[in-house]
């Protein structure tokens, strides 16, 4: 399979966007290393490491508008019709919630299946402070519209590509912050890889 990991927020033309932030070290200042888009690489790299060690193809995308990232992923999937492609919009959540979330395009049955497999693997970590893993349809007409925008272009692609918006932890939840370390996010990234591979029917997991 091919996993496309989009490090969202960063790389938008003319924008200086690192997503949400929180004072993780308690010094009274939110610094750049405490911003969402500088934390997601810990789980992105762990996902890539496990997936490549089990002979999966992985691409990490860090540049361009989301629409362009979707177009490029669709072209990739179209060129690799014999293998499934999972597009992962990589985020951390904000707003103080106590759950993990995997959003999928409400129109996509295979996207829902991908979300279920990822949520199942993430739930098996049983992370303290994480009450549940929500599998949530993203829709442009309700509170999930921002998640929808991160993956909406993928739906027009070929049948072998599906997408989710991955929000495994809340950056501003004190209990979740315990997991916002290289080690903690490493577990998250490996769970993400396992979920993707199980969705694709890999014989290696």
Both tokens assigned to 118: 């990822």
Residue 162 lies in a domain: yes
- Is the pLDDT at 89 greater than 60, yes or no? yes
Residue 205 lies in a domain: no
* CATH number for the domain harbouring residue 170: 3.40.630.40
Position 204 scores a pLDDT of 52
Mean pLDDT, all residues of the chain: 96
Position 81 scores a pLDDT of 87
Residue 185 lies in a domain: yes
- Is the pLDDT at 202 greater than 70, yes or no? no
The total domain count for the chain is 1
Position 205 scores a pLDDT of 55
- Give the pLDDT confidence of 150-173 residue by residue, as tens digits: 999 999 999 999 999 999 999 999
Assessment of whether the complete model's pTM goes beyond 0.75: yes
Average pLDDT over residues 160-189: 97
Asked if 91 and 144 count as a contact pair (C-beta separation under 8 A), the reply is no
87 - beta bridge partners? 4, 163
> What phi and psi values does residue 139 have, to the nearest 5 degrees?
-140, 140
Position 46 scores a pLDDT of 98
Residue 184 lies in a domain: yes
| Domain of residue 57, residue span | 2-200
Residue 133 lies in a domain: yes
Position 178 scores a pLDDT of 96
Average pLDDT over residues 112-125: 98
Instruction: Provide CB contacts within 8 A for 177, sequence distance 6+.
Output: 22, 24, 171
- Is the pLDDT at 203 greater than 70, yes or no? no
Residue 171 lies in a domain: yes
Asked if 129 and 140 count as a contact pair (C-beta separation under 8 A), the reply is no
Both tokens assigned to 94: 């904000």
Position 161 scores a pLDDT of 97
Asked if 174 and 168 count as a contact pair (C-beta separation under 8 A), the reply is no
- Is the pLDDT at 141 greater than 90, yes or no? yes
């Amino acid at each position: 399979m091919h996993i496309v990991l989009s490090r969202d927020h960063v790389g938008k033309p003319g924008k200086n966007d690192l997503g949400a932030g929180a004072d993780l070290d308690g010094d009274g200042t939110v610094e750049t290393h405490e911003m969402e888009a500088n934390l997601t690489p810990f789980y992105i790299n762990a996902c890539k490491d496990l997936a490549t060690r089990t002979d999966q193809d992985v691409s990490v995308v860090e540049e361009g508008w989301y629409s362009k990232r979707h177009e490029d992923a669709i072209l990739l999937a179209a060129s690799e019709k014999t293998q499934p492609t999972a597009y992962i919009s990589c985020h951390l959540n904000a707003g103080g919630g106590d759950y993990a979330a995997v959003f999928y395009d409400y129109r996509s049955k295979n996207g829902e299946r991908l979300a279920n497999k990822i949520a199942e693997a993430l739930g098996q970590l049983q992370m303290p402070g994480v009450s549940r893993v929500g599998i949530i349809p993203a829709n442009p007409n309700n509170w999930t519209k921002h998640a929808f925008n991160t993956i909406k272009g993928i739906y027009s692609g070929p049948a072998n590509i599906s997408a989710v918006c991955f929000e495994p932890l809340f950056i501003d939840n004190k209990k979740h912050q315990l997991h916002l370390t290289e080690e903690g996010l490493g577990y998250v990234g490996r769970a993400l890889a396992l979920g993707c591979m199980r969705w694709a029917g890999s014989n290696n997991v």
